[in-house]
Amino acid sequence: MRKYKPASPEKKKIALKEMKEYLSKAESYFSKDKVMAAKYVQKARRSGMRYKVSFPKTLKKKFCKHCHSYLKQGVNVTVRTNKSNVVYTCKECKGVMRFGYN
């Protein structure tokens, strides 16, 4: 098993900043071009994977985990509550994501 050097805290901060910037760009491009918005989501995911940084809870809910498209409530995602979960259903790929109430 290969051992990796952990990323420095400075690099993790830079990666988190890049991820937030890419998702804000995806939000701005969403109304114009959904394909371009999906590309920015992919870039955000790649920058996070490069330094092994996971998305914060608030950012995880902004894109589909199955098709990686940017999600905007009322346009391409339905949000429902179910017992102890919030259920997001992507209208593009019919993927279902469940998040706890926390």
Instruction: Write out the DSSP string of 34-86.
Output: HHHHHHHHHHHHHHHHHTT-PPPHHHHTTB-TTT--B--BTTTEEEEEETTEE
Predicted confidence band of residue 102 (pLDDT cuts 50, 70, 90): low
pLDDT exceeds cutoff 90 at 3: no
pLDDT exceeds cutoff 80 at 1: no
Report the pLDDT value the prediction gives residue 27, as an integer from 0 to 100: 94
Domain boundaries, the chain: 9-100
Report the pLDDT value the prediction gives residue 83, as an integer from 0 to 100: 87
> What's the average model confidence in pLDDT over 78-88?
92
pLDDT digits 0-9 by tens, 6-64? 788 999 999 999 999 999 999 999 999 999 999 999 999 999 999 899 999 899 999 99
- 2 Cβ neighbours under 8 A, 6+ residues apart: none
Distance CA 92, CA 102 (A): 26
Q: Is 4 helix (H, G, I), strand (E, B) or coil?
A: coil
